[in-house]
Amino acid sequence: MVMMPHNKIFAVLTISAFFVFGCYYDYDYEYISLVDSMDILEYGKTELRNVREHDDMPIKYKLERDRYILFASVDKKSIPPAVIFTLESKSLIDANIEGTTIRCFGFFDDIRPSEVRNSGYPEGGIRFSWQPTSYGPCEKEVMPVGENRKVVVSVYDKASGLVAKEELRFDILINGIYRESDSI
């Protein structure tokens, strides 16, 4: 039987434990709050399993106008803060919505039918994500703060074109701790 010195045994056990357990990194779990711009319809929690110490937060909002209702749902499955916007028409013909990306933050993807089936996103929605893109001039982009944080959603009607442009102020709030693991 070959005997190993204690320091080598400790080193082997430490390296083995790293591969089995890995390292953990804790981050604030952040979400987009539209409380100042829209009415709250529902409270709930994130669906990410690695979030702990979190409470109920506003997850569904509504903004009612004469000709339409704009809804917003917090993306409960996203690590970067994100919101899905949808539109319900009251009197518009073939209504749709578009989002305006402000500098390097904003609307990057429409919600596709396959994503609706697999994730529970509302069909026909648009997704606003609060994260800088990691290329070009956006790498050093400074995130707007306070009153400068706005989501711009345009409402269109097939017959008359642009019906309204909603500028919705939002905040990024912390609700718990997200734990990321890099174990194998």
**59-68, 106-115, 154-163: range with lowest mean pLDDT:** 106-115
| 116-123 CB contacts, 8 Å cutoff, 24+ apart | 119/77, 121/73, 121/75, 121/84, 122/71, 122/73, 122/84, 122/86, 123/86
Sequence ranges of the domains in the chain: 24-181
Structure confidence at residue 119 as a pLDDT band (50, 70, 90)? very low
* Predicted local distance difference test score (pLDDT) of residue 41: 96
pLDDT of 73:
92
The pTM (predicted TM-score) of the whole model is 0.75
Choose between 92 and 17: higher pLDDT: 92
pLDDT at residue 113, rounded to an integer: 44
pLDDT tens-digit series, residues 21-60: 557 788 888 888 998 899 999 999 988 888 888 889 999 9
In whole angstroms, give the CA distance from residue 81 to residue 4. 50
CA distance 136 to 4: 52
7 compared with 61, residue with greater pLDDT: 61
Q: Give the list of residues 6+ apart from residue 39 with CB closer than 8 angstroms, or none.
A: 61, 62, 63, 64
Higher pLDDT, 140 or 39: 39
**For all residues of the chain together, what is the average pLDDT?**
76
Per-residue model confidence (pLDDT) at position 77: 84
**Digit-coded pLDDT (tens) for 61-86:** 999 999 999 999 998 888 888 898 98
